[in-house]
Chains A and B, each alone.
Chain A
């Protein structure tokens, strides 16, 4: 099959780090595909024996952009369920016209509002998908109509969050750790519970902080704005809080690896970078990625300030990191990108080209720096 052949040949070529188009797939994904066997009684009539009819809830913003390309390249029939507010496809920085044409001509769109549960149920039942990737689901109520509509669903793959873990003095978080039913992400937890309780083959992926080109969350962008403006980087506390970033392309690869994978059946996987990073270390890594000089870091006590509704720093002020060893062991999933490499990829394809999602806002910085200048 043409798409499969081109994917295999691209795997044999050296992969420039700026190539977003899926050529950075790990070898293990190829292995998985060879060992995959069709499941269930459904008879495959499509050209490739392992081609699936896949529905992606979302898919036009960040993770889905890379995941949908990966799935189309693997020869699956991919439909994106979105309200259609954003363009269904957009050519990505670094993506050739030919590659973009190939993708955009193949990917399908189902226009609708996933909060309209009746519409979800009827439209999905009419189409009959094999696999659902739920990238933007937040609450369990959103998932029930999908499950109701697709009783023969082979797999429900859910993008959850490591934010569900109960804060702990013992780290990293493992998939078996206690979760926090009161966290900001309790909707994700309730969704996982719903999936567990229904008779469906589910997989839940818990990323930590995601970064990469087209990030709509100002994670690396927050640092790049300050570095570009040659401003000091205000970091709360001692700056030794440990967090963890995972590249969006590695996350897309992981999502691809669980497809049709018996080892992923009814399992939760933490997916993120292989190493963690301190807040101060991240500031330095962003500087390296963008070719900026080593930044001046200013530490402050957040309790000394009232920032109102504004966020003074893009990370939760605590240690927050998870072990990815289960995914490494069970799925053969290892991240391609180290932190500086990944941030460089993000910079070269996004911020470094003059694109970003949120305008720079140094209001809270100036509050911090102003006070610092005043106090002796």
Chain B
């Protein structure tokens, strides 16, 4: 998806969306203050020409009047979910919605030097407002602005989310969305995890889901697994590329038959956006926020190798026998961890676009051009595993 960065293109996108008769089930009049509208101009060094400035404001007002939403994304400042808010914001902006991203913490912190935060200009140039603050006081952070939709893509438990939820309810937010986790499902003999399956009652995310279900008429929870995509704050495929480009064997715990779900983050964003576009269909629902294919660990190595255009050697090992903690030695849970996005497909008509072999090629292209493959890296745990198993560190040419 090409994300435009000019007001003119944003205008034509919004006009196109209006012309295509995009439905909005809940067509609330926006209560955006004019100060908010002014603040959502692209923050560019050179101010846009006066005619463009007027056009942007007019488009926004038109978009809002036509059933476009004002959306607040409360975004984590690190970790595997940070990138979800980034792509979601872009998806909403492209559809003509008004977006504010409230990132936890301070704009000047070191965390903001990492992606996706380092790329926030892509959001602001498309019309998003980016602010920083404490989720315990959202009202102060957003300067009293009000919203139709709030997504909490930050909290993992009620301590973190309750203040956001309580503020949203008091502020009359129409739809409250929460990024939860598919990790809360209890292990099963019968994969996949589907919405409605038992969850670990003590999990923080479960407490949040129960709370928002009680507080909001229109709420939805999204349970992701792993994701790939440019701008990710956390390594995923890089762990495999690091070894493959250095011709190191790839240590895989167990049989390598364990399956997991790795989605391109654009799938997560499109599911969230669809929930915003169809709030009635999404209301009161839990969505596994994943793509619709499982991949085995062995298969993932093969796909990463193919993306890199080289062969890879897999070395299987038993973490207990070797004496390593699989959680530290391998980036994914050492077990079947596999949810399917059945509710999104059935209730929202959502479709997955993740195609791992192709997506990993794109990921590798970025990896290769980043220079990370040439950096000095230590592989202490790998070395420990390989020597325990009796495998040489480098693959014979």
Interface residues of A (CB under 8 A from B): 168-172, 237-238, 240-242, 274-278, 280-282, 284-285, 319, 323, 325, 328-329, 339
B194 engages A171 (CB within 8 Å): no
User: Cβ of B255: which chain A residues have Cβ within 8 Å of it?
Assistant: 237-238, 240
What would 16 more interface pairs be, CB under 8 Å, given A276-B190, A285-B190, A319-B259? Answer: A169-B295, A169-B299, A169-B300, A170-B295, A170-B356, A171-B294, A172-B293, A237-B257, A240-B257, A242-B191, A242-B336, A274-B194, A275-B192, A281-B189, A282-B189, A329-B346
Roughly how many angstroms separate A168 CA and B255 CA in the complex, as a whole number? 16
Interface residues of B in 188-223 (CB under 8 A from A): 188-192, 194
**A284 and B302 in contact (CB under 8 A), knowing A169-B296, A242-B336, A325-B345?**
no
What are 14 A-B interface contacts by the 8 Å CB criterion?
A168-B299, A169-B303, A171-B295, A237-B257, A238-B254, A238-B257, A240-B258, A240-B336, A275-B190, A275-B191, A276-B190, A277-B190, A278-B189, A325-B345
Cα distance A237–B190 when bound, in Å?
18
Residue in B258, B294, B345 with the greatest tally of chain A CB atoms within 10 Å: B294
Q: Is B13 an interface residue (CB 8 A)?
A: no
* CB <8 Å contact, B191 and A171: no
**Chain A hits for B293, CB < 8 A:** 170-172
Contact residues in B for A170 (Cβ distance below 8 Å) = 293-295, 299, 356
Provide the bound-state CA to CA distance between A276 and B197, in Å: 14
Cβ of B189 and Cβ of A284 under 8 Å apart? yes
* Assembly CA distance A277 to B336 (angstroms): 11
A240 to B298, CA, bound (A): 14
Chain B interface category by residue count: 20 to 34
Taking the closest CB of chain A, its distance from the CB of B381, in whole angstroms, is 22
Complex-state Cα separation, A339 to B189, whole angstroms: 11
Residue-by-residue, is B165-207 near A (CB-CB < 8 Å gives 1, otherwise 0)? 0000000000000000000000011111010000000000000
**B254 in contact with A339 (CB, 8 Å):** no
Q: How far is A138 from B125 in the complex, measured between Cα atoms in Å? A: 62
Least Cβ distance of B222 to chain A in Å? 19
Asked whether A319 lies within 8 Å of B345 as measured between CB atoms, the reply is no
Among B191, B254, B303, B345, the one with the most A-chain Cβ atoms within 10 Å of its Cβ is B191
| Closest chain B residue to A274, Cβ basis | B194
In the bound assembly, the distance between CA atoms of A325 and B356 in angstroms comes to: 21
Please, which residue of chain B has its CB at the minimum distance from the CB of A277? B190
Chain B CB count within 10 A is highest, among A169, A171, A274, for A169
Within 8 A of A (CB), among B320-375: 336, 342, 345-346, 356
Chain A residues with CB under 8 Å of B300's CB are 169
Query: Hey, which chain A residues are within 8 Å of B190, CB to CB?
Result: 275-278, 281, 285, 339
Q: Is the CB of B257 within 8 A of A319?
A: yes
- Which B residues lie within 8 Å of A274 (CB)? 194
**Contact indicator A241/B257 (Cβ below 8 Å):** yes
Bound Cα distance from A138 to B156, whole angstroms: 54
Tell me whether B292 is interfacial, beta carbon within 8 Å.
yes
B223 CB, min distance to chain A CBs, angstroms:
17
A276-B191 contact in complex given A319-B296, A323-B292, C-beta closer than 8 Å? yes
Q: How far is the CA of A241 from the CA of B298 in the complex (A)?
A: 13
- The smallest beta-carbon distance between A45 and chain B, in angstroms, is 41
Task: State in angstroms the CA–CA spacing of A202 and B346 once bound together.
Answer: 26
A70 to chain B, nearest CB (A): 26
- Tell whether, in the assembled complex, residue B189 and residue A169 are in contact, meaning their CB atoms are under 8 Å apart: no
Find chain A residues with CB under 8 A from B346 CB: 328-329
What does the 1/0 interface line of B280-319 toward A look like (CB < 8 Å)?
A: 0000000000001111101110110000000000000000
Chain B's closest residue to A237 (CB) is B255
- Distance (Å) between the CB of B330 and the closest chain A CB? 16
Residues from chain B with a CB closer than 8 A to the CB of A172 are 293-294
Given that A238-B255, A240-B258, A325-B342 are known contacts, is A278 also in contact with B296, CB under 8 Å in the complex?
no
